Amino acid sequence: MATLPSKPIADDVSLLVVLIDTNPFFWSTSSSSLNFHQFVSHVLVFLDLIVRLSQLNQIVVIATGHNTCDYIYDSSLDTDQVTGEGELPALYSFVLQRLEEFVNKDEKLGAKQDGLSEKRVSSLLSGSLSMALCYIQRVFRSGPLHPQPRILCLQGSPDGSEQYVSIMNAIFSAQRSMVPIDCCYVGSHNSAFLQQASYITGGVYVKPQHLEGLYQYLATVFAVDLHSRSFLQLPRPAGVDFRASCFCHKTTIDMGYVCSVCLSIFCKHHDKCSTCGSVFGKAQLDAASDRKRKASES
Amino acid sequence: MNNSEKKRRNGEAEEENEEDVEDEGRDAWERTYTDERSWEALEEDESGLLQPIDNKAIYHSQYRRRLQSLSATSAASRIQKGLIRFLCVVVDLSKAAGEMDFKPSRMAVIAKHVETFIREFFDQNPLSQIGLVIIKDGVAQSLTELGGSPEAHIKALMVKLGCAGDSSLQNALELVHDTLHKIPSYGHREVLILYSALSTCDPGDIMETIQKCKKAKLRCSVIGLSAEMFVCKHLCQETGGSYMVALDEGHFKELLLEHAPPPPALAEFAIANLIKMGFPQRAAEGSIAICSCHREAKVGEGYICPRCKARVCELPTECRFCGLTLVSSPHLARSYHHLFPIEPFTEVSARQLELSRVASKTCFSCRESLLTPGTNKAGPCAACTKCKQYFCLDCDIYIHESLHNCPGCESRRITPAAASATMS
């Protein structure tokens, strides 16, 4: 990671890409003390805070839906800030309107699939992460003086195991371009994907204990720019589980067998790989050669 | 020195032609200009001002060609790739490496790019191992044992940098053969030789050694820095490797980095097998233990081997005591994009874009306008064959080279039936 040359960036100007989880399956079933309406009002105040912390700060909001993802707001495109008397600030009304449009579109797309997707409650995090990274690359291309980008995932839905490969791809790409992924997880169980994302990219992972005070968590942890972060005591990652789960039973394992061709993980010895179809040689040949190698070394 | 630097800046291309100066009675620097006819690419705009040359389009077309050739080869070999590689990098440090045709010297250029290569290699092949071998004074010498730590290799090479004596291909091959002979059968044995000399001074019959390497399934590739040699070409042909000669520094770097992505897995080179691996857990915060790799007492930090409970500092590694390969799941995930690559996007002409249903004419993933700046005409762009979204050229490159996800396909829900069809 240290091989990249340091870029001449104004170190206290941020580009914050916020990914908002709008998954209806999560928000309708969430038994917690936070409903979608309250959640959005916390987030809106937070967005306003970011814009007001520095006039050069930029925010981009991307919605992560159940069936689609889309851009909601981009402060660099926003030209008219005038608001009428007694109305909501332009930022609030614009984001609310676009969010509503998005949720309706998401619902329509879901209705087409006539209940086939009932069981899947995950949201399309890989899509919104990929879009955020593409947007950040565009900012990197714009010249040597650009704001420091970071991604903030506001996620509540559980992980979708079918997105594992694509989310990991996005995480590694973010790591390569040194973009931290911060996560504020409002769901009931910890998200293993987001814990890994924050751990690998050097971001912060927070699972608020008291959801009614969400804004306070957002403002105290995620509002400061990357430069100022080094002076703060932010929540430390605790116990990120890097153990793998096997492809055959999806159980977490300490030791297992890995196919040498496609790196699929199995908990027992098989004769044929179910992913790539390779036929394996003699069982335990690997262990035998391990011993041989050790013997020749000593 | 200063003079030569200035010369470099005047044109990289000069160096390519330096060797055959007499040709056509023109000097090399003159031919660079007459061959390329760079003035023809210049265009004037309406007011008569010269327009900057569109380097982006040229760069993108080069990239597309590379991508296409890559996807053609991978389509031929299905999804099987040699992901677990044991690579011996042989660096020729005979006196030919001191030649100054590469600036400041071949040796310095090799060292610089080998460093980049080693980092890139481990980024792309986290489960693989590299060993360094140097040829000096007619003998081959093993600089580092096969191992997975990039820093150790780079440090060792930088310390030993210095050239002397003759070069011996046979000695190097014999040494590499002995090293790679004992690795497990599922690993891909590869040799990459960076050869500066124009001769080889061998103690015996090199053809026998080449046959021996072929028998041991070593895939030998050579990158030459001076001129093509028959013996190198023969070696590469026999063992299934590639032989290239670098024209200049940029070309050398390109050739070297081509060896970083995993090669297609060929059944005859490595036997598919299940490898027993351990996925260690992080040691508890504040616990004190002696790590097996540095033999030092350390607080916290580190991982515990699930089989023998020894402490190791870094992953991936091999347990010192029980020999179990220790990895973490992100190391495996780093390689998955080689197995599930995204298909190249198709190019979209300006006319197609204008007729398209996309009203906003912006890139799907980064929201940059797809219209050429200043005018209202559609610029070049690319489209995904699956989700039919349009992307700007910069995103196209980023998506294929670094992200390995199509944002369009990722942000739509595939029905379970369709998903299972694509998975199988």
Q: What ipTM does the predicted assembly reach?
A: 0.84
Instruction: Using the 3D structure, point to which of A176, A205, A229 is the last residue of a domain.
Output: A229
Do residues A216 and A174 make contact, with C-beta atoms less than 8 angstroms apart? Answer: no
Q: Are A200 and A175 in contact (CB under 8 A)?
A: yes
Does a structural domain hold residue A280?
A: yes
* Same domain (yes/no): A251, A221: no
Same domain, A30 and A172: yes
Domain boundary among A174, A195, A229: A229
A187 and A248 share a domain?
A: no
Separation in Å, CA B39 to CA B61, B182, B277: 20, 58, 60
The whole-angstrom distance between B18's CA and the closest CA on chain A is: 33
Closest chain A CA to residue B85? A260
Which residues of chain A lie closer than 8 angstroms to B150, CB-CB?
none
Same domain, A253 and A208: no
Compare all CA atoms of chain B with the CA of A255 and give the residue at the minimum distance. B278
- Report if residue A38 sits inside a domain: yes
- Is the peptide bond between B380 and the residue preceding it cis, with omega within 30 degrees of 0? no
For testing the chain B interface, which of A64, A263, A266, A298 should be mutated: the one with the most B CBs within 10 Å?
A: A263
Nearest-by-Cβ selection for B416 from A116, A131, A196? A116
Instruction: Establish if A165 belongs to a structural domain.
Output: yes
Residue A190 sits in the same domain as residue A87: yes
Strand-pair category, A148-155 with A181-185: parallel
3-state secondary structure labels for all residues of B194-248:
EECCCCCCCCCCHHHHHHHHHHCCCEEEEEECCCCCHHHHHHHHHHCCCEEECCC
- At B160, which amino acid appears? K
Kind of pairing between the strands at B188-195 and B219-224: parallel
Residue A3 in any domain: the answer is no
The answer, yes or no, to whether the previous bond of B316 is cis (omega within 30 of 0) is yes
Query: Which of B81, B403, B423 should we substitute to test contact with A (largest number of A Cβ atoms within 10 Å)?
Result: B403
| A187 domain residue, yes or no | yes
**Smallest Cα distance from A265 to chain B, Å:** 9
Residue with tokens 């914050």: A16
- C-alpha span between A296 and B394 (Å, rounded): 51
Q: Does some domain include residue A5?
A: no
B191's enclosing H/E stretch is: strand B188-195
Query: Could you tell me if B414 and B375 are in contact, meaning their C-beta atoms sit under 8 angstroms apart?
Result: no
Q: What is the reported pLDDT for B262?
A: 83
- Do the domain assignments include residue A283? yes
* Closest residue in chain A to residue B395, using alpha carbons only: A134
Which positions ≥6 away from B35 have C-beta within 8 Å?
none
Mark whether A151 and A74 lie in a shared domain. Answer: yes
Most confident of A139-148, A204-213, B342-351: A204-213
Residue B56, pLDDT score: 65
A286 in helix, strand or coil? helix
Instruction: Give, in order, the Cα–Cα distances in Å from B327 to each of B126, B152, B306, B319.
Output: 9, 19, 11, 10
Amino acid symbol at A269: H
Question: Which pLDDT score, from 0 to 100, does residue B423 have?
Answer: 42
Residues A49, A117 within the same domain: yes
Cα separation, B133 vs B152, in Å, equals 14
Q: Between chains, do A280 and B272 touch, taking CB under 8 Å as contact?
A: yes
CATH of the domain at A213: 3.40.50.410
Least confident of A14-23, A239-248, B157-166, B276-285: A239-248
Distance (Å) from the alpha carbon of A52 to chain B's nearest alpha carbon: 24
Lay out the sheet containing B381-383: strands in order across: B346-348, B381-383, B390-391
Which of A22, A67, A134, A245 is best to mutate for the B interface (most B CBs within 10 A)?
Answer: A134
Residues of B in contact with A256 (CB under 8 A): 276-277, 279
- The answer to whether the CB atoms of A170 and B405 lie below 8 A apart is yes
pLDDT, residue B16, reads 45
Amino acid at B365: S
B186: nearest CB among A117, A260, A296:
A260
Together in a domain, A119 and A175: yes
Decide if A285 and B185 are in contact by the 8 Å CB cutoff: yes
Highest mean predicted confidence (pLDDT) among A65-69, A82-86, A112-116: A65-69
Residue A155 and residue A31 share a domain:
yes
Residue located via tokens 């060792």: B156
Torsion (CA) A245, A251, A256, A258 in degrees, nearest 10: -50
Given a cut of 70, whether residue A164 has pLDDT beyond it is yes
Give dist(CA B170, CA B193) in Å, integer: 12
Range of the domain at A98: 14-229
On average, the pLDDT of chain A sits at 81
Q: In one letter, which amino acid is A219?
A: A
| pLDDT per residue rounded down to tens, chain B (424 residues) | 444 444 444 444 444 444 444 455 677 677 766 766 666 666 676 677 776 666 666 677 777 767 766 666 555 445 567 788 899 999 999 999 998 888 889 999 999 999 999 998 988 888 888 999 999 999 999 999 888 888 889 999 998 888 889 999 999 999 999 999 888 888 889 999 999 999 999 999 999 999 999 998 899 999 999 899 999 999 999 998 999 999 888 889 989 998 988 887 666 667 778 888 888 887 777 778 888 877 778 777 788 888 888 888 877 788 888 888 888 888 888 888 887 788 888 888 777 777 776 666 788 998 888 877 666 677 778 888 888 888 888 898 899 888 999 999 998 886 544 444 444 3
Q: Are B360 and B398 in contact (CB under 8 A)?
A: no
Same-domain status, A131 and A203? yes
| Structural domain count of chain A | 2
Give percent of chain A above pLDDT 70.
Answer: 82
| pLDDT recorded at residue A17 | 95
Considering only CB atoms, B80 lies closest to which of A66, A200, A276, namely A276
Query: How many other CB atoms are found less than 10 A from the CB of residue B419?
Result: 13
Tokens for A123?
A: 């949201």
Distance from CA of B197 to the nearest CA of A (A): 31
Phi-psi category of residue B313: left, alpha or beta, with phi > 0 → left and psi -120 to 50 → alpha: alpha
Reply yes or no on whether the pLDDT at A245 is more than 80: no
Is A8 inside a domain boundary?
no
CA dist B303 and B18 (Å) reads: 55
Amino acid at B82: G
Sort out which chain B residues have CB atoms less than 8 A from A285's CB and list them: 184-185, 273
Segment A165-186, tens digit of pLDDT: 899 999 999 998 999 999 999 9
Q: Which residue has the higher pLDDT, B188 or A29?
A: B188
Q: Kindly state whether residues A222 and A249 are assigned to the same domain.
A: no
Non-local CB neighbours of A71 within 8 Å, separated by 6+ positions: A60, A61, A62, A131, B367
Task: Kindly state whether residues A223 and A257 are assigned to the same domain.
Answer: no
Nearest-CB residue to A135 (from B182, B332, B367): B367
Q: At what angle do helices B169-181 and B230-239 cross, to 10 degrees?
A: 20
| Backbone torsion region of residue B4, taken as left when φ is above 0, otherwise alpha when ψ lies between -120 and 50, otherwise beta | alpha
pLDDT tens digits for range B144-168:
988 888 888 999 999 888 888 999 9
Residue B360 pLDDT: 67
The residue from A229, A253, A273 where one domain ends is: A229
> Are B281 and A289 in contact (CB < 8 Å)?
no
CA torsion through residues A182, A72, B366, A156, sign: positive
Burial degree of B58 (CB within 10 A; 0-12, 13-18, 19+): exposed
Residue B128 dihedral angles phi and psi, to the nearest 5°: -95, 170
